[in-house]
Structure 1
Amino acid sequence: MKLLAFRRLLRIQRVAIRYRLDDMVLELPFLPWWLRLVGGLLPWRWLPRKPLDLSRGARIRLALEDLGPIFIKFGQILSTRRDLLPDDIALELAFLQDKVPPFPPEQAVALIEQQLGAKIEQVFSRFEREPLASASVAQVHTAQLKSGEEVVVKVIRPNLEPVIRSDIAWLHILARTAERISADARRLHPAEVVSDYEKTIYDELDLLREAANSSQLRRNFEGSPLLYVPQVYWDWCRPKVLVMERIYGIPVTDLDTLRDQRTDFKALAERGVEIFFTQVFRDSFFHADMHPGNIFVSTRTPWSPQYIAVDCGIVGSLTDEDQDYLARNLIAFFKRDYRKVAQLHIDSGWVPAETKVNDFEAAIRTVCEPIFEKPLKDISFGQVLLRLFQTARRFNMEVQPQLVLLQKTLLNIEGLGRQLYPELDLWTTAQPFLERWMRERVSPGTLLRNAQQHIEQLPHLAQMTRDTLERLSREPQPEARLTVTQPGMANAWPARLIGAVLVAGAAETGLATHSLAAWPAWAMLAGGLYLILRR
C-alpha cells in the first residue's frame, strides 16, 4: 500500500508538471510568500518548458483525464460545486466524460462468477463478453437470463479499492494543507469537498445500494406516463454485480432520431421539469445524476414522450422543512420578494441566526435584479439558485450536500430542457406545480394525516411522562424546609412536569414546520404552558 501510494504521488507530480498546474498554484493570490519562494526554487521550474496554449480550466480537465478514472470522477463531482469554483473552471470540468477503456472480459466474467457463486452458463443463456459501455467504476455487459428476460449486467472494476484509498488519501492531504496555509482556501472548504467525494465514490462501489435506489424510484413512478425505471432482478444482485432489465430507447441527446419519430419536443422538455419537481417535492427522493448519458426516451408514444432513467447510484432527498423552505424561497424569488427570501434563509437555519435581514436582503437584491431584467423565458432557474448559494456563502451559509445535489440536478434538467426546446419557460412550467404543492400542504386531507401522526405519538409521550414521574418518585426527596407557600403549591410540580414534557413534545413533533399542519403541536404547547404557569 505504501509503495502504491508513493507511485501514485510520483504520477500525480508528473501530470501536474506536464500541464503546468504548479504555475497555477503559485499564481494563487492567497499563497504565503514563503511557499511561493519554495515553489520558485523547485528544480523542474529552472528547465525550459514549452508554453501551453490552453486555458486554466482545460489544463485542469486534461490533467484529471490523464490521472485516470478516480480523478475523472472527482472532477465530475467538483464541477457540480459551482458555488465554490470560478465559472471558467466549472464549465470546463463539466465536459469531463465518463469514458474510460474497458477492462478485459475475462476479469469481468471471473468477478461475476465469484459474486454469484455460479458459472456464467448456469445463470445466463447468453452473455456478451464485449462490454456495452465502460465507465470509471464499472462496465456493463448485455445478457439473457435462463428465464428469457433480456438484461444488462453491471460489474465493478477489479482492484479498484486500493487505488481509491490511495487517491483519496492524497486528496485529503492536499485539502488539509490548503486549509492550513490560507484563510481564503478554508472559505472554499476543500476538505468538505473531498469528504463528499469520498462518500459518493464508496457509495457507487456498492451496487446493492444502486439497486435499492432503482427499485424505490421505479415504485414511485409505477404506471406513470412520465418516467420508466428498469426492473431490478434481485436474485442476481450482489455488492459488485447488478442485473437489471435491458431497456431500448433513444439517447436524449440524439435529436435527429427523436425528430424522425416525430417526438413532441415541447412536451418532452416540460415533462423533464415535471419529473424533477415531482421527485423533489412529492417523493423527496430524486435521481441526482441525470446527465444525458443516463437518460433515454421511449419509442412507444412519441406524441406523449416518456423518459427512461438508468444509473441510480446517486440520489438525493430533502426533509419536510427543506422542501417547505425551498418551495417558498423559489416562489418568493420569482415574485422579487427579497425580504422574504432573506428571512426564510434565517428561519431555516441555512444562514446564522445573527445575520442582519436588511444586509442579506440588499445583497440578494444586488445579485438578482440584473437577472430579472431579462424576459422570464431567458432566465436560468438553475443559475438563480446558484447565485443564491454564492450570495448566501458570503453570510457564512454552509451549503448542505442535499442542496448541492439538487442544484446540480436542476442545472442538468434545465440545460437538457433548453436543448430539446429552446423556448422552454422553466418558471411558467414549475410555478403551477409549486403553488399546487403548497396548497396541498394545508389541505384538509394533509392536515388530518398530520394530526393522525401527532396523535399516534401521544401514547409514547404519555409513557415517557409516566416513566419520568415514577423515576422521580423513587428518588430520595430532600428534607422539608419551613417555607410559606400558597395552598396547593406543594402538589403543583407533577402538573408542571407534565407541562414541560408537553412543551418539549410540541417542539419536537411539529412546530419547526411553521405551517397550519402543525396545529396539534401548537395545542400541546398551549396545554403545556397552561400547566406550567397556572397558580
Structure 2
Amino acid sequence: MFSFLKLNRNIRSLRRYLNIVRVLSTYGFDHVLEMLGLSDMVARSKRMFRHDKADINRLTSAERMRLALEELGPTFIKLGQLLSTRPDIVPSAFVHEFEKLQDSVPSFCFIELKSQVERELCGSAETFYAEIDPISLAAASIAQVHRARLVSGEHVVIKVRRPGVVELVESDISGLMGLAHLAERHMPGSEIYDPVGVVREFARSIRREMDFTREGHTIEKFRDNFKGTPWMYFPRVYWNQSSRGVLTLEYVEGLKVSDLQSLDQAGLDRKLIARRGAAAFLEMVLNHGFFHGDPHPGNVLILPDNVICLLDYGIVGRLDDELKTFLSDILLAIVNRDMDEVVSLLLFAGDISDTLNVRSLKRDLANFIDSYYEIPLQEIEVGRMLLEFIEIITLYNIRIQPDLMLLTKSLIIIEGMGRNLDPEFNMVEHLTPFMQKAMRHKFSPRRISRDINSILLSYVNLARNLPRDLKEIVNRINRNKFKIDLEHRGLDKFTTDFDRSINRLSSSMILAALIIGSSIIMQTDKGPQLLGFPVLAFLGYTVAGFIGLWLVYAIIRSGRM
C-alpha cells in the first residue's frame, strides 16, 4: 500500500515537473532550459504543443517570467513574492515585476470548507460553531477566511486551509528542487546565487505558512513581547477550535490604517498612530529580534484610543543578536561615513565572491553616502536608503541574510504608512533612541564580558580538538585513505554535447563507409543479384539510407542545423 502511494506521488511529481518545463518553454525560456540540460524535453514540448509566441516575444523577460509564475499556480506565485524581497539575487526589473503578483484565487465552495473543518477538528462543525458565514472574507492560494460564531457566543474568524494544497505544494517543491540541482550542476557561477538554498528557504517558509498552529503560537509570542504596551492589540487564539489546517481567531473590528477619512471622522490621532507604529516595529526588530514580515495596510487595523492591531502572522522575520548587531553597526558606519568599517562589516557578514573588487566597492559606497549628505534627516527614508545600499552591494555578488532583506521590505512599507498618516513623519527621529540603546548595550560591561567568555571558550575548544584532528589527518595519510575531492562545475553540458557530436560523427563515418562499399560492390558481378545488381549493394544502400534519415531527424529535433 505504501509503495503504491509512493509510486503515485512520484508519478504526480513527474507530471508536474513536465508541466513546469512546458510553461517555461511557452514563455520563451528555452535557452534557460537548454542550459539546464533539458534540450530533449524542450524539443518534445515544442512538438506536442504549438505556441504562438508573437505576443509573448514583445514582452520583457521579467514580464514573461511573471506570467509564467501566474500560470504555474499558487506555489510559484508565492515563490515570486519571496524573490521580490531578494534584490541581492534577483535583478531589479524582476523584483519590480514580481511585486505585481497577486495571491488571490476564487473561493472554494462552502460544502468543501465545512468538510475540511470537520476533518481537521475531528468532529461535526456544529459542535464547535453555532454558525459559519458561507461568504468568505478573503480567499488566497493557501487558505480562505470566513466569519463565524462559536457555540459559546464569541464572534470569530476562521482561516481554513484549501483541500489538497499541501500535496500540490510538496509536488511543486520537488520539481523546483530538481531544477535547482540542475542549475547548480550545469550553470557556471550559480553557486553565487545558491539555487538549492533558495528553494530550501522557500520550502521552509511556505511549509510554516501552511501550518496554522505555528501562526497561532506566533500571535501569542507577539502578545507576550508587547505585554506592557496597552496601545498594541493582538487577537485571541481559540485553541480548542484550531489545528494545523484550521485557525480560529477573535474577530476584531477596526478601521483600516489607509482609510484616512474614517480615521479623522472617528477623532483618532493620525500623528500618534504613525509614531506608535514606528515605535512598535523598531521594538520588534531591534529589541525582540522577531518582527511582522507583511505589515501592508490591509493587515493593520486601528481600534479606539489609537490602538494598533496587526493581522495575518503567516510571514515573520527573525534577527538573532549577531544580525541585530550587524544592522546597528552598518547603519552607524553609514551615518559616520566610515567606508572601511562598512566594507569590513560586509566582508564579515555576507557571502563574498573571490573576485570582489574592494576598491571599486568603496568608491560606489562613498558615492552612495555622499548622495545623502546634504539631505535633511526628516526627508531620509531609511528603508529606501537600505534598499539602495543593498542594490549596490548586490552588484558585487555580496549576499545578505534573507531576514535582513525581509526587514528592508517591511521597513519601506512602515515608512510609507507613516508618511501617509503624517506628512511630517521622520523615521530617523524614531530610530535614533533605539540606535543609542543598541550602542549602550553593545559596549556594556555585561555584553563585553559575555563576548570575551565566548571568544575564550572558542579558543579552548579549538585547542582541545586540534591535536585530535591533526592525529586523524596523519592516520588517514598513513593508511592511504586521505582523499581530496575535486568537482568540475559546468562541464556536464559540454560532456553531453561532445558525446552527441562524437556519436553523430561516428554514424556519419559508418554512413560514408556503407555508401562507398556499396558503390564498389555495385561495380562487381559477384554474389546474388536482384534486377541485375548485387543484393549486398542494395542492402548497404538501404542501411545507409536509414542511418542518414535518422541523423537528419536528430539534427532537426535538436533545433541546431
TM-score (norm 2): 0.71
Structure 2 gaps of 5+ residues are 1-8, 464-561
Q: 1:271 aligns with which of 254, 276, 279?
A: 276
Q: Deviation at 1:215?
A: 0.3
Aligned with 2:159: secondary structure?
strand
Tell me the alpha carbon deviations over residues 360-388 of structure 1, each in whole angstroms, 9 at most, x when there is no partner. Answer: 53342234433545444443322332343
**Counterpart residue identity of residue 411, structure 1:** I
| 2:460 matched residue in structure 1 | 504
* Greater RCO (CA < 8 Å, at least 6 residues apart): 2
- For the pair 1:97 / 2:98, whether they are aligned, the reply is no
Q: CA deviation at 1:66?
A: 2.6
With over 3 angstroms needed to count, the CA separation of the structure-2 counterparts of 1:49 and 1:396, relative to structure 1, is closer
SS in 1 for 2:248: strand
Q: State the partner residue of 2:494.
A: none
Give % identity. 34
Aligned partner (choices 49, 54, 59) of residue 64 of structure 2:
59
Distance in 2 separating the partners of 1:47 and 1:99: 27
| Aligned ranges 1:390-469 → 2 under 5 Å | 390-393=391-394, 397-442=398-443, 447=445
Query: Residues of 1 paired with 2:65 and 2:438: CA distance?
Result: 42
Q: Helix, strand or coil for the counterpart of 2:400? A: coil
| Correspondence 1:196 to 2:152 | no
SS in 1 for 2:438: helix
Paired residue secondary structure (1:151)? strand
- The within-5 A match list for 1:82-481 is 82-298=87-303, 300-301=304-305, 305-348=306-349, 360-372=361-373, 374-393=375-394, 397-442=398-443, 447=445
CA distance in 1 between partners of 2:459 and 2:89 (Å): 41
Whole-angstrom CA distance in 2 between matches of 1:144 and 1:202 = 29
Amino acid at match of 1:70: T
What's the offset of the Cα at 1:341?
1.9
Q: Whole-Å Cα distance in 2 between the matches of residues 37 and 123 of structure 1?
A: 54
* Deviations 1:181-234, CA, capped at 9 Å, x for gaps: 333444333322221111111111111111111100011112524421111122
Distance 1:420 1:72, change over 3 A: farther
Query: Conserved in 2, the CA contact under 8 Å of 1:129 and 1:141?
Result: yes
Structure 1 Cα separation of the partners of residues 239 and 369 of structure 2: 48
Would the alpha carbon gap of residues 357 and 44 (structure 1) be closer, same or farther in structure 2, given more than 3 Å must change?
same
Partners of 2:22 and 2:42 within 8 A in 1: no
1:8 is aligned with what amino acid?
R
Deviates more, 1:190-199 or 1:177-186: 177-186
What secondary structure does 1:183 align onto?
coil
Q: Comparing 118-127 with 402-411, which one deviates more in the overlay? A: 402-411
Report if aligned partners of 1:127, 1:142 keep a CA contact under 8 Å in 2. Answer: yes
User: What is the total number of aligned residue pairs between the two structures?
Assistant: 453
1:448-487 residue CA offsets vs partner (Å, 9 max, x unmatched): 6997x899x9xxx9xxxxxxxxxxxxxxxxxxxxxxxxxx
- The Cα of 1:325 is off from its aligned counterpart by 2.3
1:4 maps to what in 2?
A: 12
Q: Are residues 343 and 124 of structure 1, via their aligned partners in 2, closer, same or farther at CA, if it must alter by over 3 Å?
A: same
Deviation at 1:144, TM superposition (A): 1.7
Q: In the alignment, which residue of structure 1 is the partner of 2:54? A: 50
d(CA) in 1 for partners of 2:212 and 2:264? 35
Q: Is the 8 A contact 1:132 1:141 kept in 2?
A: yes
Task: Indicate if the aligned counterparts of 2:442 and 2:448 stay in contact, CA closer than 8 A.
Answer: no
Deviation at 1:17, TM superposition (A): 5.2
- How far is the alpha carbon of 1:163 from its aligned partner? 1.1
Larger radius of gyration: 2
What is the rounded CA distance, in whole Å, between the counterparts of 1:369 and 1:449 in structure 2? 33
- The one-letter code of the counterpart of 1:50 is A
Distance, in Å, in 1 between the alignment partners of 2:332 and 2:216 is 35
Deviation at 1:104, TM superposition (A): 1.8
TM-score normalised per structure 1: 0.74
SS in 2 for 1:296: strand
Q: Structure 1, residues 62-108: CA drift from partner, whole Å, max 9, x if none? A: 33223222121111111111222222221121122221111222222
Distance 1:71 1:503 in 2: 46
| CA separation of 1:15 and 1:223: change in aligned 2, threshold 3 A | same
